[in-house]
Every structure is written in C-alpha cells, then in structure tokens.
Structure 1
Amino acid sequence: MTKSRKRLTTLTTAAILTALAIIIPQVMPKIVIPPASFTLASHVPIMIGMLISPAVAVTVALGSTFGFLISGLPIEITFRALTHVIFAFFGATFLARHRDYTRGIKFQLFNLIIALIHTLCEVVMVYGLLTTGFSHLDGRHLGSLLLILGFGGFVQSLIDFNIAMFLVRAIHKVHPFELLKTPELIND
C-alpha cells in the first residue's frame, strides 16, 4: 500500500469509526442510572481505533464524546465519555509498540488493564463532579453510585473490547483490512 493510499485509508476509517461513535449513543439500548450509563457497544469504535493508531483512537473518542453530548443524557455522562481520550491514547500507544498483545492471554491481560484505567478515569471524573457540586446529583449516595459506575463500567469495558476484537477478526476473514494487517491480530 502506498503512503498516500494508507493515509487516505486511515482518514476514511477514522471518519467511519467516528460517525459510529456519534451515532451509537443516539440509537443503541442503554441503562441510565445517573451519573452511570451503560450504552451497548459504545466503546467498540474507540477500541477498534486503538488497533489502528493513537490519533485515530483519540479522534474517535472525541467523536463519542460529541455523540453523548447531543444524546440528551445528563452532562455527567458526557464528561465520562471525555475521559475515554485517556485510555484510548495510552492503549493505542501501547498496542502500536506491542502488537503481540492483540491475541490470547496477552490480549485479555491488556483488556483488564485498559478496563481498569478506563474505569478509574470515569470514577475520578464523576467523583470530582459530585463532590464539587457541579453535578445536579450533589453527591447523594456517592458510594453506591461510584460502585455501580466502577463495577458496571469495568465489566462493560471488558465486553466491548472483546466485541471490537471479534468484529475486527470477522472483517479480516471477509476482506483483509490493510491498516490492521498483522499476523498477531488475525491469528488466534
């Protein structure tokens, strides 16, 4: 693949993933217990972006934040979505250097660590919003809210990254995706 074709493919893929990240909060089923919300597959485009590059991952995470902003959900949920930039950047940077962490036990270990970073960023954000009075919830039931957010977010992150990897591998079988064409990624 030529350099200009690769850039065009990267840009197009980032645009498609960003569009999906904006649409998902609008149309997918969700459970909302403010400040927590669990939207089916909301992290999948970001996590696919992490397999491409840090720039794509961050772009898609910002698109997801915009999607949550226009979805009509409480503002705390949009701020939580903004924290996705952190785990997306660090995860994509790590994967760019360590492609062997895209399969098997190493992938699940990476998934656990990313889910932990993801969850901690969201919990810190919500804690800050609740304790400073920015949130309309004003910190009531803070412990139970953070427990629901922490546990639920952790589990959702684990599930969404496995869905993302399943989709990428399925796409590879039908049409090899040049941006992700590495033996480590497609061979399990």
Structure 2
Amino acid sequence: MNQTRKRLSMLTTAALLTALAILIPQVMPKIVIPPASFTLASHVPIMIGMLISPVVAVIVALGSTLGFLISGLPIEITFRAATHVIFALIGSLFLWKHRDYTEGIKFQIFNVVIALIHTLAEVAIVYILLTTGFSHLDGRNLVSLLLILGIGGFIHSLIDFNIAMFIAKTINRVYKFDIFNH
C-alpha cells in the first residue's frame, strides 16, 4: 500500500474509532454507581486504536472523553475517561515496538498490566476529586467507592481489551486490513 493510501486509511480508521468512542457513552447499556460507571464496550475503540498507533490511540481516547462529557453522566466519570489517554499512550507505545504481545499468553500479560495502569489512573483521579472537595459526591464511603471502581474497572478493562482484540483480528481476517503492521 503506498504511503498516501496508508495515511488515508489510518485517518479514516481513527475517525471511525473516534466516532464510536463518542457514541458509545450515549447509547450503550451502563451500570452507574457514581463515581463508577461501567459502560459496555466503552474502551474497545481506544484499545483498537492502541493496536494502530500511539497518535490514533490518543485521539480516540480524547474522543471518548468528549463522549462521556456530553453523555450527561457525573463529571467525575468524564475525568476518569480523560485518564484513558495515559493507558492508551503507554500501551500503544509498547505495542508499537513489541507486536508479539498481541498474541496468546503475552497478550494476556500485557492486558493485565494495561488494566492495572488503567485502573490506577482512574482510582487516582477519583481519589483526588473526592478528597479535594471538587466532587459533588460524598466522600464518606471513599474506601467502598474506590474498591468498586478499582475491582470493577480492572475487570471491565480486561474484558474490553479481549473484545477489542477479537474485533481487530476479525477485521484483519475478513477485510485484509492489517492493523498490526505499521
């Protein structure tokens, strides 16, 4: 594929993933226990973007933040979405150099590490918001809120990345669109 066509393909893919990332918080089923919110497949476009390039991953993560901002959910959830830039960039930079971590046990190890980074960033921002008084939520149940957010967020991240990898591999197989090569 020539360079112009490859860039156009990457731009189009980034735009489609960003549109999905904005749309998902609006339409997908969710469980909301502020400041926790578990929206079905909300990380999938970001995680597919991580497989493409660091720039695409960050753009899609920012689009997801916008999606949560306009969804009407509590502002703490938008701040949590903004932290997705962190795990998306770190994970994508790693995958850019280590494509062998998209298969088998190496992928699952990578998935656990990214889920930990993802969860720690979300818990940290919620902790900051709750303890500084920025949040409108009551901080009396801080430990239980952070446990729900931490454990639930970790499991949610693991599931979404497996969904993202399944979709990415299916797209590669069906459409011969090799997102694993850069």
TM bucket normalised to smaller: over 0.9
Q: Aligned-residue CA RMSD in angstroms? A: 0.9
Deviations along 1:79-99, one digit per CA (max 9) or x if unpaired, are 000000000000000000000
SS state at 1:51 partner: helix
- Normalized against structure 2, the TM-score is what? 0.98
SS state at 1:141 partner: helix
CA distance in 2, matches of 1:178, 1:169: 9
Where has structure 1 moved over 6 Å in runs of 4 or more?
none
The equivalent residue for 1:104 is: 104
The equivalent residue for 1:27 is: 27
Asked whether the 8 Å contact 2:99–2:180 carries over to 1, the reply is: no
Task: Kindly tell me the number of residue pairs found equivalent between the two proteins.
Answer: 182
The equivalent residue for 1:47 is: 47
CA distance in 2, matches of 1:42, 1:169: 19
- Letter of the structure 2 residue corresponding to residue 25 of structure 1: P
- Normalized against structure 1, the TM-score is what? 0.95
Asked whether the 8 Å contact 2:131–2:139 carries over to 1, the reply is: yes
The equivalent residue for 2:132 is: 132
The unaligned stretches of length 5 or more in structure 1 are 183-188
Give 1:180 deviation, angstroms.
Answer: 2.7
The equivalent residue for 1:185 is: none
CA distance in 2, matches of 1:125, 1:181: 34
The equivalent residue for 2:178 is: 178
CA distance in 2, matches of 1:69, 1:81: 9
Matches within 5 A, 1:71-150: 71-150=71-150
Give 1:140 deviation, angstroms.
Answer: 2.1
The equivalent residue for 1:186 is: none
Deviations along 1:151-180, one digit per CA (max 9) or x if unpaired, are 000000000000000111111221111333
CA distance in 2, matches of 1:112, 1:66: 26
SS state at 1:31 partner: strand
Give 1:104 deviation, angstroms.
Answer: 0.3
The unaligned stretches of length 5 or more in structure 2 are none
Deviations along 1:17-43, one digit per CA (max 9) or x if unpaired, are 000000000000000000000000000
